[in-house]
């Protein structure tokens, strides 16, 4: 059993094929079919999948049919495009839980789950016995947009900052372990925390470099 994470799949959201994300599929049906194939290529029925919001822009019936095709035990963090939940006919039992925010444990690490990026997240400065910062903030919402570029800049500047974290010690780098789990960054496949850490590091290494003003 694995814990897997993904955000902003936007089932049925045809506009994203041509605007904003420019996903490139002919229509929503083609997008849906690809995302279902990618999901089930990795996820088993024993896996737990944490959806960080904006799962579906579709209506109750269509979204239900998609959920019936997906493997895994699903947990949903509410997004601003999950309107299907407002339909009283929708059967919420497909989800283990539906929350606006959650804090869970994953292999001795603390994971903050929210649809929106939280810059000063709970447990940001916590360390384990090996003196390693062990809290991660997983988010979505901003896709790969200008907003994400601003978040990227905040993360870089925060990591380059120095402050006295513990009394009597020299200034240290400020931990900022925020990861955008946008589905296009993983080719629509839910990933483990370790996989997202690797994907995020690789993506950030390729970002344009700029000088941080002191």
Q: Return the DSSP state at 133.
A: B
Give residue limits of the domains in the chain: 3-205
pLDDT tens readout for residues 37-57: 999 999 999 999 999 999 999
Residue matched to tokens 């049919």: 65
pLDDT above 60 for 211: no
CA distance linking residue 14 with residue 103, whole number of Å: 32
CATH topology of domain 3-205: Purple Acid Phosphatase; chain A, domain 2 (3.60.21)
Q: Which pLDDT does position 214 carry in this prediction?
A: 44
Q: Return the DSSP state at 213.
A: P
CA distance linking residue 40 with residue 6, whole number of Å: 13
What's the rounded mean pLDDT across residues 60-69?
97
From first CA to last CA, the distance across the chain in angstroms is: 46
Q: Is 142 exposed, middle or buried (0-12, 13-18, 19+ CB in 10 A)?
A: buried
Average pLDDT taken over every residue of the chain: 95
Answer for the pair 34, 23: CB distance below 8 angstroms, yes or no.
no
Helix-, strand-, coil-residue percentages of the chain, each rounded to 5: 30, 25, 45
Residue matched to tokens 């444990």: 105
Assign residue 89 a region (left: φ > 0; alpha: ψ between -120 and 50; beta: otherwise): alpha
- Residue 180: name the closest of 99, 116, 107, 134 by CA: 116
CA distance linking residue 164 with residue 185, whole number of Å: 34
This prediction has a pTM of 0.94
Answer for the pair 56, 9: CB distance below 8 angstroms, yes or no.
yes
What is the percent of the chain where pLDDT is above 70?
Answer: 97
């Amino acid at each position: 059993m694995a814990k897997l994470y993904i955000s902003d799949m936007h089932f049925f959201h045809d506009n994203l094929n041509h605007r904003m994300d420019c996903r490139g599929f002919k229509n929503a049906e083609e997008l849906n079919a690809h995302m279902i194939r990618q999901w089930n290529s990795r996820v088993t029925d024993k896996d737990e999948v944490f959806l960080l919001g904006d799962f579906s822009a579709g209506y109750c019936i269509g979204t239900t049919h998609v959920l019936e095709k997906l493997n895994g035990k699903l947990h949903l963090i509410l997004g601003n495009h999950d309107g299907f939940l407002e339909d009283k006919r929708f059967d919420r039992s497909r989800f283990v839980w539906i929350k606006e925010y959650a804090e869970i444990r994953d292999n001795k690490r603390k994971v903050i789950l929210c649809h929106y990026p939280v810059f000063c997240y709970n447990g940001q400065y916590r360390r384990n016995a090996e003196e390693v910062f062990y809290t991660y903030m997983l988010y979505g919402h901003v896709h790969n947009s200008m907003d994400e570029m601003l978040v990227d800049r905040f993360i870089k500047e925060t990591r380059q900052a120095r402050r006295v974290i513990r009394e009597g010690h020299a200034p240290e780098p400020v931990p900022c372990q925020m990861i955008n789990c946008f589905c296009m960054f993983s080719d629509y496949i839910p990933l483990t925390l370790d996989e997202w850490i690797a994907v995020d590091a690789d993506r950030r290494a390729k970002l344009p470099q700029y000088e941080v003003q002191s």
